[in-house]
Chain A
Amino acid sequence: MNNFLIPFFVILPLGAAFIVALVPKHLNKVADAIANVSAFLLLVASAYVCMNNVSGVYFVGGWKIPIGINMALDGFSALMLLIISIITVASSIYSISYMEQFTWKSKFYCLFLLMVTGMNGVVLSGDFFNIFVFLEIASIASYALVGYGCRHEELEATFKYLALGNLGALCVLLGVAFVYGLTGTLNMADFSIRTAGNLNNGLLVALGLFIIGFGLKAALVPMHAWLPDAHPSAPTPISAMLSGVFIKATGVYALVRVSLNIFPAMQVTHEIILALGGLSMVVGVFMAIGQWDFKRLLAYHSISQIGYVMIGIGLGTPLGILGGIFHLINHAAFKSLLFLGAGSVEYETGTRQLRQMGGLSRQMPVTASSTLVASLAISGLPPFNGFFSKVIIIWACVQAHRYGYAVAAVVVSVMTIASFMKVQKYAFFGALKSKWEKVKEVPATMRIAMVFLAVLCLLMSLLIVPGAREVVLQPAVDSIIAGTNYVTHAGGL
């Protein structure tokens, strides 16, 4: 059975990327239209896939596995596709006005859509080597986008990101070589059957290489050094994409899929993921609290929040995985919104330093209120989405008798509140500084993108209600728990 919807998610952005690259400089409106329409089509398709719980497999060229290449769609992939598409739509709407500062928009949209292609490809790919290929497509596009402005700091951040990202990709490729040399197969389902849970030392080395490679992409502490430089340096819609979905699609998704689904889920893997997650959570928030650069502060919080996701998934209990997945999609919504808010402030005032801002809520009411929503959501205050996912993760830690992680999660949550109170106090509340009296609200398209995500932050808390949870979150949880399920229905074996 071939499901023809599956390759659509890769073909559409890939085709649109090369068409948009041909648009000349004076037709920027056409470039806007192509990018936004294709983002919107992706959203419609992924919403269809997620709501109807479509799953299946597509054999590229009609070759059956293990000979051919396959693309597989299950609950976890479908949820990732949905969240990638939502953030893509928000970012591309935001880019219409924001990217006016740069001259040639079609080049930007070309790289942007290639990044989306890569992320969708990683999420759908059914074999190890294609994960590497799509990872590189997404990464190369993101390297170029981080340095898009070509200023001093941006170039420095790009080189750092490029070096560490390339190191991670090479680790993944070396892992692929080990897997092929030791088992003679690259298909993930076939690999799972052939090893049947018995790993020799070589395959353990491969697993270690995959954890290092994907961990670098997910910016887990101690492999996080590139993220606080790279994410703030990119143009704002790209910061939102990178922090919102890029580290999750190429990092968390690939890490979880490979180390818990394809390789047998061993106790030691769970322990490693838990330890990396706990470390990221604590170190990220400690680094964030002292920052005065708005976007850099947000970037450190990304590290910290990814720690929550990894802890939830690393627990391995159904409740923990539910919390982890839920926090993953929630974080995509509120962190993208925060980056868009920070970008709007920078767009109007030209600064990212919190100390220089002040009282902007009067001049920029939409930006201020949507950023407030996102701050409350990331701090974990009810009724916003972040509260529910954090509570689930903490409760799952208690249930699994991991009290240390539960306490750490609570402490980190309190510190997150503290650091976002600082953001609100310095940037939006207080007396308006005289030099900002002429500051206006951002253009309409940027406001639409922010309001869209702010509404989403509120609505996503409804996903926890029984009824919505079974449709959206539960298929993803099931597909992580039942690793063998992936083999039977995604592999077609």
Chain B
Amino acid sequence: MTYGLCILLFLIGLYAVVTKRNLIKIVIGFIIMENAVNLLLIMLGYRLGGRAPIIWKNAAGAADLTGFANSSVDPLPQALVLTSIVISLGVTALMVAICLRVYQRYGTFDISKIRRLKG
């Protein structure tokens, strides 16, 4: 169910990218899509009532690995999402910079008016 909502969010972003004519709205669509995928990744590692994935010591003073495996959330997707957020930040910054340059050259954000390449 929650996974389905992430996919729905992804599709909403895709809808914005495909149908919108304003460059900034297309960029926003991409941001929605990126966040949908990031949310999906986080959801995969989520556990209801789970603990932060840091190994703690048990009463005997040793690392409590069984307790860790039984109650903590999956740390790997969090690492993946961290990487993917950085990448999407880079892509978004580049995209906005190009929108800015396009606006300087063409004087518009409307993609139906930015059409010099044909064929």
Name A residues whose Cβ lies closer than 8 Å to a Cβ of B: 129, 132-133, 136, 140, 143-144, 147, 150-153, 155-160, 162-163, 166-167, 169-170, 173-174, 176-177, 180-181, 186, 228-229, 287, 290-291, 293, 296
Contacts and interface: CB of A to CB of B under 8 A. Distances in A.
Given A140-B94, A150-B101, A174-B10, A180 B37 contact: no
A140 B17 contact: no
A331 to B, nearest CB: 22
B90 interface: yes
A147 B102 CA distance: 11
Contact of A296 (B30, B87, B119): B119
Contact of A166 (B30, B77, B105, B115): B30
B73 interface: no
Contacts of B3: 181
Interface in B27-59: 30, 33-34, 37, 40-41, 44
Residue in B87, B99, B115 whose Cβ sees the most chain A Cβ within 10 Å: B87
A157 B77 CA distance: 34
B84 A173 contact: yes
B87 A133 contact: yes
B5 interface: no
18 contacts: A129-B80, A132-B84, A140-B87, A140-B91, A147-B101, A155-B105, A158-B98, A159-B114, A163-B30, A166-B95, A176-B80, A177-B37, A177-B40, A177-B41, A180-B41, A180-B76, A290-B119, A296-B119
B26 A163 contact: yes
B55 to A, nearest CB: 14
Contact of B99 (A136, A159, A167, A296): A159
A163 B17 contact: yes
Contacts of A129: 80, 83
A140 B92 CA distance: 10
A155 B98 contact: yes
Given A147-B101, A180-B44, A181-B44, A157 B117 contact: yes
B114 A170 contact: no
A404 to B, nearest CB: 28
B119 A228 contact: yes
Main secondary structure of the interface of B (DSSP, over half): helix
Interface of B: 3, 10, 14, 17, 23, 26, 30, 33-34, 37, 40-41, 44, 76-77, 80, 83-84, 87, 90-91, 94-95, 98-99, 101-102, 105-106, 114-117, 119
Contacts of A147: 98, 101
A71 to B, nearest CB: 17
A82 B50 CA distance: 48
B117 A156 contact: yes
B111 to A, nearest CB: 8
A147 B95 CA distance: 11
A316 B77 CA distance: 35
A340 to B, nearest CB: 22
A481 B46 CA distance: 38
A334 to B, nearest CB: 23
A147 B105 CA distance: 13
Contacts of A296: 119
A152 B33 contact: no
A155 B101 contact: yes
Given A152-B106, A159-B23, A159-B102, A170 B34 contact: yes
Contacts of B94: 140, 143-144, 162
A140 to B, nearest CB: 6
* Shortest Cβ-Cβ A-B pairs, 6 listed: A181-B44, A136-B87, A229-B117, A155-B102, A177-B40, A177-B41
B87 A153 contact: no
Contacts of A228: 119
A129 B14 CA distance: 22
Contacts of B40: 174, 177, 181
Given A132-B84, A156-B102, A159-B102, 19 more contacts: A133-B87, A140-B90, A140-B94, A147-B101, A153-B116, A155-B98, A156-B117, A159-B114, A162-B91, A163-B17, A167-B17, A169-B91, A173-B37, A174-B10, A174-B40, A177-B37, A177-B41, A180-B77, A290-B119
Given A155-B102, A166-B30, A174-B37, A291 B10 contact: no
Contacts of B105: 151-152, 155
Contacts of A136: 87, 90-91
A287 B106 CA distance: 28
Nearest to B105: A152
Nearest to A167: B17
B107 to A, nearest CB: 11
Nearest to B10: A174
Nearest to A164: B17
Contacts of B17: 163, 167
Contacts of A156: 102, 114-117
A156 B80 CA distance: 32
B91 to A, nearest CB: 6
Contacts of A132: 84
A160 to B, nearest CB: 8
B104 to A, nearest CB: 9
